[in-house]
Amino acid sequence: MDELQRIQPQLGALGYQILAVSGDLPEQVTKLVTKRNLTYTVLSDENLMVTRQFGIVFRQGRWLLPAPAVFVVDTDRRIRFHYVHPDYQVRLDPELLLAAAKAGRQ
């Protein structure tokens, strides 16, 4: 999330808005946003309803967890780029996201 915050101004200049979805409770999301001084929107999906609809959940033991995912969506609501990884420790490189966002504007 810190990496998204770092590139948020560049994404905004390209016309993109960041919407992050977390599996945490709303109270935890609020604390996270405050603690990390995030200026983009972070939404709570505590029951993983949205995450399941996107098909980006995985099972770890008895728990269902959201997979880290990024989608670049254009103004026609078409997905121009997506990244999903089942290991929550593996995140998309922010420079790759910027490149995908720039390519999506062409």
Q: Which domain holds residue 65?
A: 2-97
**pTM score:** 0.81
Mean pLDDT of the chain: 89
- Based on DSSP, count helices (H) and strands (E) in the chain, helices before strands: 4, 6
Measured distance CA(18)–CA(40) in Å, rounded: 6
User: Looking at the 3D structure of the chain, how many domains does it have?
Assistant: 1
Cα-Cα end-to-end distance for the chain: 26
Residue 103 resides in a domain = no
Q: The CATH number of the domain where 17 resides is what?
A: 3.40.30.10
* Residue 84 CA: distances (Å) to CA of 60, 68, 71, 101: 16, 6, 9, 16
pLDDT digits (tens, 9 = 90+) for 40-85: 899 999 999 999 999 999 888 898 888 888 888 877 888 888 999 8
Residues constituting the chain: 106
Q: pLDDT value at position 106?
A: 66
